[in-house]
Amino acid sequence: MQQSKRKNSLLYLFLILLICSSCSLEKRLDNKQRRAERKIEKLTIKYPQLLRRDTVKDTFNIITPLVKHDTSFIDTTSDTTYIFKNKLRIKYIRVGDTTYIEGECKSDTIVQTIEIPVERIVVKKQSIVDQLVKYFKSSVIWVIILLVIAIIIRIAWKFIKKSIWPLG
C-alpha cells in the first residue's frame, strides 16, 4: 500500500516537472527575438549603410478658434471707424454719447512641420552576463530533469530486480 502511494507521488512529481519544464511562449518568443537580432547584426555588418539615420517629417495642423468680443462705453463725440488687418476686424461706432466696439479675429490654421531623426535599424547586442544567465538557467533545469530521471530509473530498477530475482 505504501509503495503504491510512493509510486503515485513520484509519478505526479514527474508529471509536474515535465509540465513545468516544457517550452513556454516566452521562451519561444525570446529565441525568435534572439535569432532576429543575430540576423540584423549580420545584415548591418554586410550593409553598413542601414545604420544611417533617417529623418521622419510630421506635419501638424493647429486650428485656432474664432475670437469675438463686444463692448460699449460713453463718450461725447460721434464717429464710425472700421479697422481691417489680415484676419482681425474691428468696428468702432459712436452714436451720441454711446460708443460700440465690436472685434473679431477669424479662425486660422497653423501648419507646423517637425523633423524627427530616427535610426533605421537598432542593433541590440547582448552582454556576456546576459547570455551566461540564460544558459545557466536552462542548464540548471536540464540537470534537475536528469536527476529526476535517474531517480525514477533507480526506483524502477529495484522493482524490476525484485520481480526478476525474487530471492536475490
DSSP state of 105: E
What are the DSSP E strand ranges found in the chain? 53-64, 67-74, 80-85, 88-95, 98-105, 108-119
* Count of domains for the chain: 1
Residue 22 domain flag: no
Residue 73 domain flag: yes
Residue 104 domain flag: yes
Domain housing 79:
53-119
Q: How high is the pLDDT of residue 3?
A: 61
Residue 154 domain flag: no
Q: Is the pLDDT of residue 1 over 50?
A: no
Residue 162 domain flag: no
Q: Using one digit for the tens of pLDDT, what is the confidence trace for 52-78? A: 777 778 888 888 787 777 766 565 555
Residue 129 domain flag: no
Q: How high is the pLDDT of residue 54?
A: 75
Residue 70 domain flag: yes
Ramachandran category for residue 123: left, alpha or beta (phi over 0 → left; psi -120 to 50 → alpha): beta
Residue 132 domain flag: no
pTM over 0.85: no
